[in-house]
Amino acid sequence: MRTTSAILSKIFTRRFYVQNTGFFLVLFYLLFGVVNGANLLAYHKGLLLGFLGNYSFLFLVLLLWTSYALKCVGFILKTFQTQGYDFLYPTMGSIDKATRRGIWFRLHTAIYMPVLVYAGIAVVIAIQHQFYISAVIVAVLNIANCIWPLRLYERKLEQPDVIFFTGHLQRWLNQHFTKPPVLYFLYELLTNFPRRIVSTKIFSAAILWLTFLIMTRGEYFDLRGLQIGVMVSVLTHMQLMVHHRAFDDTYLNFMENLPIRLVTHYLRLIGVYVILFLPEMIIITVNAYTKTTPWGLVTVFCTALSLLILFRVMLFFPKMNPEKHVRNTMLTSFIVLFMVLGHYEWPAILLLQAASAIIFFVKYRQYEPYIESAS
């Protein structure tokens, strides 16, 4: 049973944290990157006391924690539907029900752990400052968030063909709308993985909002500061890129054999990320069009799109698993960061575009679908 638990932990827990690296980088930036190190403890203590002593604020925090619990549940349920993981049904189904519930509980709490740690600290602070009702509310909600998902996991084993609400939307779109190839992946996200793209876009928008808020409160506007915020926003899209590769491997492999020019494939790839980043481009334009020139906005957009495209084509390298992808994207981001700070934005953009084009045109025809090693 220990071996089974270790394998399941690798499938669920490890994959969750790897696929959501961008999400946790954004969270780290929000919680620690915007505060002076000397004031970090005072900031978090003030934040804890702020929502423990205000029920409206507490309700918002509880809502965010529950949303994270839903994200955890969604990941586990989607894993069962992921190609290559069909063996989970007979594996989990063959385990005694009481033992299986314990496994479900350990898997869920392992990926819900960041909230449990912060909530535990909140309970201690609440008791120290005599916010007993808030302490009970926080404790009860988080215990509930570790228990109610177990029923959903059991239901998934009993009814593996359960169709989510997006199934109706998907059937309607299929009947009334013929999609161009550039929309294939976006359609997949919106119909089959809405939580993934919505959560990514929410955190991406939060990064941009925080970037503009910091500059507004400081009564200044720096295009380099905006580009740094945009780079962090781009990093939140890494899990979507890995999903994009999996989608292409599974559903669009046949397109390589069609009489389509490589440049058309490359333009389709660019189009996917232009459309995907369009909400952020609108947010940036609305908040910055009076503070910078049109050329400044073009520079910001080109930087973001160049990073997105390069990060995506990096996945054409063989044996490029999510962990290696994260390391390479972080290294690239640091190099671009120093170039932006040194006012070398356009040389950075040209280098990124050149690297993207070279990798794509060399690797696209040679690429074989990525298969994760069992070791």
Lowest mean pLDDT among 114-123, 215-224, 335-344: 215-224
Q: Predicted confidence band at 288 (pLDDT cuts at 50, 70, 90)?
A: confident
Stretch 326-332: mean pLDDT, rounded?
90
Question: Is 294 in a helix, a strand, or coil?
Answer: helix
Structure tokens that stand for 24 in this block? 């946790």
Residue 40 pLDDT: 72
Check pLDDT > 90 for residue 308: yes
Averaged pLDDT score across all residues of the chain:
85
Residue 323 pLDDT: 82
Check pLDDT > 70 for residue 79: yes
pLDDT digits (tens, 9 = 90+) for 198-257: 888 988 988 888 888 888 887 778 888 899 899 999 999 988 998 899 888 888 888 877
Question: Is 123 in a helix, a strand, or coil?
Answer: helix
Check pLDDT > 70 for residue 169: no
pLDDT digits (tens, 9 = 90+) for 40-61: 778 778 888 888 888 888 888 8
Cβ partners under 8 Å of residue 75, min gap 6? 12, 16, 19, 111
Distance in angstroms between the alpha carbons of the first and the last residue of the chain:
19
Query: What single-letter DSSP state applies at residue 178?
Result: P
